[in-house]
Structure 1
């Protein structure tokens, strides 16, 4: 009888130990599974956040233009760089401009603005874009705009720019140049690029 009781006790204990072991294994599996699932979700969220917070990159866009200038824009009387002359762009405001040799295609006296705007095509907000000139604002009058003013852009340097509402970040009365140059990164020729200011050029 004692032997039978001992056998029953041992069997019961074995079953209990096995059940506990399986339970712990399942719990560990679930924990690992949940951890991996959580990590995957966090990674996806980080990627989405990174993409949405990514600065707008215009480096793959064509910075050439037809060469047409806005109505009322006056040619500079005595520009530092004459049409046909060459100058260096030591620090370009867009990728592929830095160190490029620029040929002057036009020189004009105006006010150049740094602007921020939401593209009309639904793209990411563009901040501190250089440059939009006074004659490319729908509300332009004789007086220049000031920092903080809201204007409507009448320019198409970039996709989604034309018709966009922009905020003036800063203004600079200067000579602006339309230039031809070779992109130092892609090797592509850019013609009639609008705009480069006097301070962005250096004599060769």
Structure 2
């Protein structure tokens, strides 16, 4: 009997890990050239060495934006500085989704003792419970950075918005960043 229970637990665990690693239709081979990039100082604690992961998957439950300010293929300039080389970078909108965007604070599961504060952005489809309010505790189901997936965190801010996926060329040089998750409408301006 113990052997059957153990085998069942292994099968369930394996199935859950496969489900967590499944790819959305948006994930393609072009995403494989994404490197890791250091976060800017406003997105981390001063001594943080956390790295962004540009191979994150768009949740399959996301709803396409009905009236985005910046439709797909719009050329934009990034105003936010989530990461080094982002502010002022030229980019292009790849996807746009209606959602709630959260800034969250959390302790990474990668063994680090530091707390990441005010990380922008995690969307409603990447947290449980959904529909969180400022101050609520959430479990983060996103892999935007090392140690984020499965981490417990707190909502620092929340806003109903259009969340954008963008490709952009860092102002610091280097390779084009593809499918960066997430930018909000107030963090973009149409390129002239």
Q: Normalized against structure 2, the TM-score is what?
A: 0.71
Partner of 1:77: 66
Gaps of 5+ in 1: 1-52
- Report the structure, 1 or 2, having the larger helix content: 1
The alignment of Structure 1 onto Structure 2 pairs a total of residues equal to 146
Asked if 1:55 is matched to 2:53, the reply is: no
Gaps of 5+ in 2: 1-44
- CA distance in 1: counterparts of 2:122 and 2:179, whole angstroms: 15
Q: Does the CA contact (< 8 Å) of 1:181 and 1:189 recur in 2?
A: yes
Q: Does the CA contact (< 8 Å) of 1:62 and 1:190 recur in 2?
A: no
Q: Secondary structure at the match of 2:181?
A: strand
User: What is the aligned-residue RMSD (CA, Å)?
Assistant: 1.6
Partner of 1:134: 124
Segments of 4+ in structure 1 off by > 4 A? none
- CA distance in 2: counterparts of 1:198 and 1:154, whole angstroms: 23
- CA distance in 2: counterparts of 1:181 and 1:63, whole angstroms: 15
- CA distance in 2: counterparts of 1:179 and 1:111, whole angstroms: 17
Q: How does 1:81-160 map to 2 (within 5 A)?
A: 81-123=70-112, 124-140=114-130, 144-160=131-147
- Report the structure, 1 or 2, having the larger strand content: 2
Query: Which one has the largest radius of gyration?
Result: 1
Partner of 1:196: 183
